[in-house]
Amino acid sequence: MTVRLNEDALSHARGLLRSGDVVHDERDDWSEHAPSTDDENDFIDKHGMGEFARWHLGEDTDATEGTKGRYSFPFGDFRKLHRCAVISAESRAGQYDHASIEKAFKELLEKIDEKSE
């Protein structure tokens, strides 16, 4: 499995941050705020796989293109960037030695927290 940083998604996350489309929630909120499988499928039906990909900082280049399994490390609910998702994903990226993804999430978290002060 080769998971790389999805630069387009990182740009999208930064844009959400700049425009203030951020939920300043707590670490453990992601289990409640994460989109369900049905939410993901509805989003893909309405917006396509390319837009779905823009909400995930990880891309498994070994996985089949055009599948949900190709994308990992979500950071929002298809409307806003969630602080809790960023915290969760940073931790998981570190666990699985995805250094560039972990670093990107760390930087996003720092900027989110700067804006909330």
pLDDT tens-place string over residues 54-71 = 999 999 999 999 999 999
**Below-70 pLDDT ranges, the chain:** 117
Per the structure, the count of domains in the chain is: 1
What are phi and psi for residue 14, nearest 5 degrees? Answer: -65, -40
Q: How far apart are the C-alpha atoms of 84 and 30, rounded to whole Å?
A: 5
What are phi and psi for residue 114, nearest 5 degrees? Answer: -65, -40
User: Average pLDDT over the chain, rounded to whole?
Assistant: 96
Beta bridge partners of 56: 74
Question: Long-range CB contacts (< 8 A, 24+ apart) of 39-45?
Answer: 39/77, 39/78, 40/68, 43/78, 44/68
**Model confidence, pTM:** 0.95
Q: pLDDT at position 16, please?
A: 98
Residues spanned by the domain of 84 = 3-116
Q: pLDDT at position 9, please?
A: 98
Q: Determine the Cα angle at 73 with ends 112 and 110, to 5°.
A: 20
Helix boundaries (H) for the chain: 7-19, 30-33, 37-47, 49-53, 83-95, 99-116
